[in-house]
A = this chain, B = another copy of it.
Amino acid sequence: MKTIKDSVHDHIEVGGVARDLLDTPAVQRLRHIVQLGTSSLVYPSANHTRFEHSLGVYHLACEALDHLGVAGRNAKRVKAAALLHDVGHGPFSHNLEPLTHRRTGKYHDDVHELFERGEVGAVLREHDLSPARVADLVAGDGKYGQVVSGELDVDRMDYLVRDAHHTGVPYGTIDHGRLVRELTFDEDDDLVLDEGNVQTAESLLVARALMIPTVYNHHVTRISKTMLRRAAERLLESTDVDAEELRRMDDPGFLVALRETPETESFARRFDERDLHKRALWAELDDTPESLLDLAHEDVRGYELEIAERAGVPEADVVLDVPGEPEMTESSTRVLVNGDARVLHEQSPLVDALRAANRAQWRLGVYAPAEDTEAVGTAAADVLGLDLDGALVSEVRSGLQETLGSFSGEDA
């Protein structure tokens, strides 16, 4: 048993297969991938990594398994999956997923491959575990997969408290000790919260609902991560780096690649000096033409070019950001109520309200250097066909200001 000190869970004891996995390059690599992508540009203390998060998820998995009474090979498999669940991440975590994980935009596609090969595969096999079955757990498959990936998974329990601890934003401070204690399997082998835990479920939902606008979707985070993504696209286009190679980079490798590539070096400077674009347009997505909501990569590029041209600015200075429709996984959390597993959104009026609140914060953004926001905003409204009822773009912007919500560690 190895004891590791963690700033969130204090002492974490690592043994068995987890201890061997810890020393694999694939897991050690996570030391160089920040948990929250570009969020440290808003919250300067948020420099925690996927490595410490993975340890935390492993730790909570052990506690959950203990309370669920799961032992033996099933437990071993879940523990391995918990420690490994993020090894598929590319640099800056989720920020570049659309580029590194083709097709679905979800990284779990690649997990099977990663688990089979190299030292990870070897360690798993040494401990008599099937890489494929462990990978299935990471994808949330099967009875025990729910512990690793699902509405009540230990992943979200760790990241909420950890992100709260490191950003300094208290909203994510859930009662994870209670959550792992109240997990149980219902008669259909669904992972549910035990009787008397409607509020416990609500508190998890609420924590994420408050963290989303304040941390995860803070507008400066959105600006910086969209800029980062554009830079990564240029890197893929102008060098022989491909999606697979990009995914295998860590943060330092990716940053230096941007600095050393002529086509991305000006972005790298902007990122390094925190000289970020500002919002030129910030429009409610409910008012947005349907056609914008599901843009292919090429189309985004097309719009950016057109806006840049109309505004008379260099192409690189226009960044269009159309996020997907907000989801709220936790709304399908199941809780036992008088012996029946009920889905939270049937039980709690909060679910719909939080979903509505979340959806109301859904915004399309167009970003540009500070001095060009006026020109780019007007051009963008035009090109994107936003019917602003004759309102000036600046009014659109200010009119929506309140939903920026959100405290800024530091404004862009």
Q: What is the interface of chain A, defined by CB distance below 8 A to chain B? A: 2-8, 10-11, 23, 25, 28-29, 31-32, 40, 43-49, 51-52, 55, 165-171, 173-175, 177-178, 181, 195-200, 202-203, 206, 210, 213-214, 251-253, 255-256, 259, 272-275, 335-338, 347-350, 352-354, 356-357, 360, 398-399, 401-411
Given contacts A47-B48, A171-B203, A199-B406, 18 further A-B contacts (CB under 8 A): A2-B410, A5-B43, A5-B45, A7-B167, A11-B177, A45-B48, A47-B52, A178-B407, A196-B401, A196-B406, A199-B405, A200-B405, A253-B259, A336-B402, A349-B353, A350-B357, A352-B353, A353-B354
Chain B residues with CB under 8 Å of A410's CB are 2, 4
Q: Which of B168, B174, B196, B252 contacts A170 (CB 8 A)?
A: B174
Say how far A233's CB is from chain B's closest CB, in angstroms.
20
B-chain residues with CB within 8 Å of residue A45 when the two chains form the complex = 5-8, 48, 52
Alpha-carbon gap, A330 to B277, bound state (A): 37
A272 and B44: CB pair below 8 A? Answer: no
A406 vs chain B, min Cβ distance (A): 6
CB distance from A258 to the nearest CB of B (A): 10
Main secondary structure of the interface of A (DSSP, over half): helix
Contact between chains at A5 and B199 (CB < 8 Å)? no
Q: Would B356 and A349 count as touching, CB distance under 8 A? A: yes
Please report the C-alpha to C-alpha distance between residue A172 and residue B409 in the assembled complex, in whole angstroms.
22
Residues of B within 8 A of A55 (CB): 44
- In the complex, what distance in Å separates the CA atom of A338 from the CA atom of B396? 11
Residue of B nearest to A354 (CB): B350
> Known contacts being A11-B181, A196-B406, is A25 close to B352, with CB within 8 Å?
no
Bound Cα distance A213, B255 (Å): 34
A199 touches B213 (CB 8 A): yes
Which residues on B sit within 8 Å (CB–CB) of A259? Answer: 253
A272 to B28, CA, bound (A): 7
Cα A387 to Cα B8 in complex, Å, equals 46
Contact (Cβ within 8 A) A7 B168: yes
Please measure, in the bound complex, the distance between the C-alpha atom of A337 and the C-alpha atom of B92, giving whole angstroms: 34
Contact across chains for B25 and A273 when beta carbons are under 8 A apart? yes
Give the complex CA separation of A195 and B45 in angstroms.
Answer: 25
Q: Given A10-B177, A31-B40, A256-B252, are A214 and B196 neighbors across the interface (CB < 8 Å)?
A: no
Chain B: minimal CB distance from A311 (Å): 25
CA distance A55 to B402 in the complex (A): 28
Among B28, B203, B353, which residue has its beta carbon within 8 angstroms of that of A274? B28
> Which chain B residues lie closer than 8 Å to A48 at the CB level?
45, 47
Inter-subunit contact B4/A409 (CB<8 Å): yes
Contacts of A357 in B (CB 8 A): 202, 348-350
* Docked complex Cα distance between A46 and B166 (Å): 11
Residue of B nearest to A47 (CB): B47
Give chain B nearest CB distance to A160 CB in angstroms: 11
- Which residue of the partner chain B has the closest CB to A44? B52
Q: A203-B210, A349-B357, A350-B353 are in contact. Are A44 and B401 (CB under 8 A)?
A: no
Q: A206-B206, A356-B349, A360-B349 are in contact. Are A338 and B40 (CB under 8 A)?
A: no
Taking A47-B47, A406-B199 as contacts, is the C-beta distance between A3 and B181 under 8 angstroms? yes
Chain B CB within 10 A, most for which of A28, A252, A255: A252
